[in-house]
Amino acid sequence: MSNIPVLTIDGPSGSGKGTIAQLIAKKLGWHYLDSGAIYRVLAQAAIKHHVELDNEPELAQMAAQLDLVFSLDNDQLVVKLEGDDVSHQIRSEQAGNAASKVAALALVRSALLERQRQFRQAPGLVTDGRDMGTVVFPDANTKVFLTASAKVRAERRYKQLKQKGIESNLSDLISEISERDKRDSQRSVAPLIPAEDALVLDSSEMGIETVYRHIITLCGDV
């Protein structure tokens, strides 16, 4: 166990946990781990190397050797796979769904455990994902489970895509989000559930500012 403080923010896709986690990491001057990006990159690597998304032994081996580098450029997370910048590529709905499939495999998750724990560096770590408070950092000082209804999350995603000039269909987004929630919550390893000692925040009716203030207040106790 380590004395370095950790704040975990878990929750379903589109709950806003990534945006909030980055804002808080910046405010506290702490490191930031986007654990979902690791699963997204692994899925990307599998597609690149023609490995099926349910080939557990091969994917676990790829996970253990994944050539992945995170860096920051003007506060933006830059993600490189085998030296190639995949920051944008890994953010599509398709990449998220592929990530959710590889993330359901037990051997893959255990192969990535230590790599995630290595992000715990002074002065502290803010991390977001699905199992940060339950499995990866069970001794975290502060745990938040950030959620919102599937409809609200799909609407947020629809707006984001529109801003990027990408047309999408709201009802398709709602069913994709619901399907991913189901897979992430019903898998047998590290399912998407709040840690017993997590504060559960439903952001359906809250703006980002309000969520941020709630969490930063909690961190006052770190």
How far is Cα 218 from Cα 213, in angstroms, rounded to an integer? 9
Q: Which residues contact 11 (CB under 8 A, 6 or more apart)?
A: 17, 128, 130, 144, 145, 146, 147, 192
User: At how many degrees (to 10) do helices 106-117 and 56-64 cross?
Assistant: 10
CB of 156 or CB of 180, closer to ligand DC: 180
Q: Where do contacts with ligand DC occur on this chain (CB under 6 A)?
A: 13, 35-36, 39-40, 96, 99-100, 103, 129-132, 180, 184
Q: Which is nearer to ligand DC, 31 or 180 (CB)?
A: 180
The residues facing 32 across adjacent strands are 126
The nearer residue to ligand DC, 5 or 16, going by C-beta atoms, is 16
**In the complex with ligand DC, which residue's Cβ is closer, 28 or 105?**
105
In whole angstroms, the minimum distance from the beta carbon of 132 to ligand DC comes to: 6
Cross-strand bridge partners of residue 73: 76
Asked if residue 147 lies in contact with residue 9, where contact means CB atoms within 8 angstroms, the answer is no
For residue 23, the surrounding DSSP H or E stretch is: helix 17-28
Nearest distance, CB of residue 95 and ligand DC, angstroms: 8
**Closest distance between ligand DC and the C-beta of residue 104, in Å?**
7
Name the minimum Å distance from CB 220 to ligand DC.
25
| Minimum distance, C-beta of residue 88 to ligand DC, in the bound complex (Å) | 13
Residue 215 identity (one-letter amino acid): I
Which one, 25 or 99, has the nearer CB to ligand DC?
99
